[in-house]
Amino acid sequence: MVPMPSLWKAPVAPGPLRWTQPVPGSKSITNRAYILAALADSPSTLLNPLSSRDTDLMSAALNAMGCRVEQDGNTVTITPGQLHGATIDCGLAGTVMRFLPPLAALADGPVTVDGDAQARKRPMATILQALRDLGVSVEGDGLPFTVGGNANAPSGGSVTIDASGSSQFVSGLLLSAPRYSDGITVRHEGGPLPSMPHIDMTVDMLRRAGVKVDTGHHTWTVHPGTISGGTWEIEPDLSNATPFLAAAMVAGGSVSIPFWPESTTQPGDEFRDIAEAMGASVRLAGGTLTVTGGELHGIDWDMGDIGELTPTVAALAALADSPSTLTGIAHLRGHETDRLAALAAEINKLGGDVMERADGLLITPAPLHGGQWESYADHRMATAGAIIGLRIPDVVVEDVETTAKTLPGFAGMWEEMVNNG
């Protein structure tokens, strides 16, 4: 019998906050480092990696395929091994379901991947067809699928895809490309390409591992060669930091995030500009980012490169003093849930005024009231409900534990901030 999801009453902020909140490592960097370490020429060490459902699933997948992954406190050591066939659970993790297939093509036996029921709705055909075009045996166009084993490394070559559904299709192909005998050139042709910072992150990490990568307009060429083992120091997850920064904008006062990088490819860094545009003051000094709340204003913002921040920004927009238009995010319909439909439904259920558009949301502030906020098994939907609950009494978030996907212990961290900040 499947247990019923829990209900969590989001705490209302009693006054302005004064809080410093450390956040764990970046999921995006951690899971990219796992793939590169699994294909490297020597062991690698990850310092301060994220330990969450998404990263634990990646670790388990690599272990099952022949790598040795060992964790000691905040350090993970990955020793590459001969990749072999396995059955993999990807949960609801896009980075696992889309980064593993090109790596699985390097195994000497078939690799079958499946995940949560909701994961079977997520777009996968693009990367699976790309592998077929590169000569890899693939059964299925979505979860579950099987990538056939190859006695020799796939040759690779050039492939053209429509990555408008997810930048992860590009990153997945690029990460394993050095181990293909001819490397891989990926060309994107189609709709707007979302989340470019994540592709930039992939290219940057490949180059840091000693791989030659050429880039052009919507074209990336990864040359064949060795991936160097080494040490990866994982930055804090800036996207996971944004709900806490948003709390200062809703409740007033200041919230600080330590160890914020001066320079980063993480899309969460753009929240600094968004916070200022919405009326907050932002200060980065000594490696600590502090956001201080002010009057909360609406914005018109192209979220195409930073779609994962949409739930946080939409929650803020619902509490602002003027309308907001968020655009460039049609691809969010293929995330953990259809985030555009989910945000509109949940904010409107609390008395809001949100209109879905083809590529975004029009959010007009309206008086809100309490009620149950559904998470849709989506970690960022759960945190959006918590943000609204800071100001609106009796907001009850269904299945707040889904935040363990990328931020284990979120509810306790949030309550400590509100009650002690």
8/401 Cα distance (integer angstroms): 9
207 CB neighbour count, 10 Å cutoff: 12
284/37 Cα distance (integer angstroms): 32
Instruction: Say which residues have a Cβ less than 8 Å from residue 54's Cβ, sequence separation at least 6.
Output: 27, 31, 91, 93, 95, 96, 405, 406
What SS3 class is residue 59?
Answer: helix
What SS3 class is residue 313?
Answer: helix
| Residue 289 β-bridge partners | 257, 284
Estimate the crossing angle of helix 196-208 against helix 27-38, to 10 degrees: 40
Catalytic residue annotation: 308
Q: Is residue 351 within 8 Å of 369, Cβ to Cβ?
A: yes
Q: Is residue 407 within 8 Å of 379, Cβ to Cβ?
A: yes
- Binding annotation: 27-28, 32, 94, 122, 166-168, 195, 308, 335, 339, 380, 405
Q: Is residue 91 within 8 Å of 119, Cβ to Cβ?
A: yes
Residue at token pair 């609406």 = 298
102/75 Cα distance (integer angstroms): 26
Q: Is residue 17 within 8 Å of 255, Cβ to Cβ?
A: yes
Which contacts (CB < 8 Å, 24+ apart) does range 403-406 have?
Answer: 403/379, 404/52, 404/53, 404/379, 405/52, 405/53, 405/54, 405/91, 405/92, 405/93, 405/336, 405/379, 406/27, 406/50, 406/52, 406/53, 406/54, 406/237, 406/240, 406/379
Q: Is residue 185 within 8 Å of 157, Cβ to Cβ?
A: yes
Residue at token pair 């181990």 = 179
Sign of CA dihedral 153, 156, 162, 164: positive
- Binding annotation for phosphoenolpyruvate: 27, 94, 122, 168, 339, 380, 405
The H or E element that residue 188 is part of is strand 184-188
